[in-house]
Amino acid sequence: MMRSILIGLSKSKAMERFVLSNPLARKTSRRFVAGEELPDALAAARGSNQEGLKASLDYLGENVASREDAVNAREMYIGVFDRIAQEGLDANVSLKLTQLGLDFGEDFCREQAEAIVQHAAALGNFVRLDMEGSAYTERTVEITRRLREKSDAVGTVIQAYLYRSEKDIELLLKAGCRIRLCKGAYLEPPEVAFPAKKDVDANYVKLMKILLASGIYHGMATHDPAMIAATVDYAAANGIAKDEFEFQMLYGIRVDLQKQLVRDGYRMRVYIPYGRDWFPYFMRRLAERPANVMFLARNLFRAD
């Protein structure tokens, strides 16, 4: 129930204005968001690299209001890749297709994404196309597949809670696509997604095995010790080396576990979000972390 409420509130402009104006909420958001500007994200990536962690930078923003905004986002991401290269960071980029104008047409959006992928490829880097709500899944898979025909510098995300995910993985693997597997953070109806956590977990393990057996370098995105243990056990039992895949976690969540996996010899990538449009992302993280909800509730209405 709490998760549904918080995800619903992530779409409320009134709630967004309230949270953005509250100093405590802004301070709390820094646990999950590196900052509002690119230098903040670069500093977080640099710190992660120093700890032996790879990084993936994501400029927060979804569903741009105009084609001009989408073009501006394209140019911004091209600039991010330049800064990563200039600073010698072990980091790639994650982005959402609605930020590149997917609501204005697949062809237009694909043109923006292709320009970014080409630039990343020229710099020896990689673009991850994030998966959004289920209304965008089909289009995201198709755009990824078509971009992958021209470059291996692009991959996407598959969400284990969707019924369709196994078929999407089969299609993407045929194209040689690198995939990040996660459980899924959006509120989806039972018609398209497993409603029970145990079923999502079971599907995650099933899809993890398909991915690791493919021989393609994938990312296992989870903070769940049970999912991590299942991945470690399957890889060991099937002779899959620790450098043939990577674990991925969100910035600010289970930092102890991130460092432990690195000490154990696994590759770990931290997903580092930044930008001024942090409210929807922040609310989704609260929905996943009840302890943070309680902390915010205790302090949100205190006087400054």
Give the H or E element holding residue 195: none
Phi, psi of 221 (to 5 degrees): -95, 105
> What tens-digit pLDDT sequence spans the chain (304 residues)?
555 655 555 555 666 565 656 666 666 666 788 988 999 999 999 999 999 999 999 999 889 999 999 999 999 999 999 999 999 999 999 999 999 999 999 999 999 999 999 999 999 999 999 999 999 999 999 999 999 999 999 999 999 999 999 999 999 999 999 999 999 988 899 999 999 999 999 999 999 999 999 999 999 999 999 999 999 999 999 999 999 999 999 998 899 999 999 999 999 999 999 987 767 776 666 666 655 555 455 444 443 3
Measure the CA–CA gap between 8 and 216, rounded to whole angstroms: 36
Question: Is the CB of residue 144 less than 8 Å from the CB of residue 173?
Answer: no
Asked, for residue 265, whether it belongs to a domain, the answer is yes
Measure the CA–CA gap between 165 and 171, rounded to whole angstroms: 10
Asked, for residue 202, whether it belongs to a domain, the answer is yes
What is the SS3 assignment for 235?
helix
- Dihedral, 68, 69, 70, 75 alpha carbons, nearest 10: 90
Q: 105, 99, 104, 57: which is closest to 81 by C-alpha? A: 57
> Which residues are annotated as catalytic?
130, 180
Asked, for residue 112, whether it belongs to a domain, the answer is yes
Measure the CA–CA gap between 45 and 157, rounded to whole angstroms: 21
Asked, for residue 294, whether it belongs to a domain, the answer is no
- Dihedral, 220, 222, 226, 232 alpha carbons, nearest 10: 30
Measure the CA–CA gap between 26 and 101, rounded to whole angstroms: 28
Asked, for residue 151, whether it belongs to a domain, the answer is yes
Neighbour-count burial of 233, counting CB atoms closer than 10 A to its CB (0-12 exposed, 13-18 middle, 19+ buried): exposed
Other beta carbons within 10 Å of 38: 17
Asked, for residue 301, whether it belongs to a domain, the answer is no
Q: 164, 157, 169: which is closest to 193 by C-alpha? A: 164
Sort strands 154-159 and 127-130 into parallel, antiparallel or unpaired: parallel
Asked, for residue 304, whether it belongs to a domain, the answer is no
Q: In the chain, how many domains are there?
A: 1
Asked, for residue 296, whether it belongs to a domain, the answer is no
Q: Residues 248-292: pLDDT tens digits?
A: 999 988 999 999 999 999 999 999 999 877 677 766 666 666 555
CA angle 208, 214, 215 (to 5 degrees): 115
Identify the CATH number of the domain in which residue 176 sits: 3.20.20.220
Sort strands 267-274 and 246-250 into parallel, antiparallel or unpaired: parallel
Q: Which pTM value belongs to this model?
A: 0.87
Q: 214, 206, 212: which is closest to 176 by C-alpha? A: 214
Domain residues for the domain of 191 are 34-277
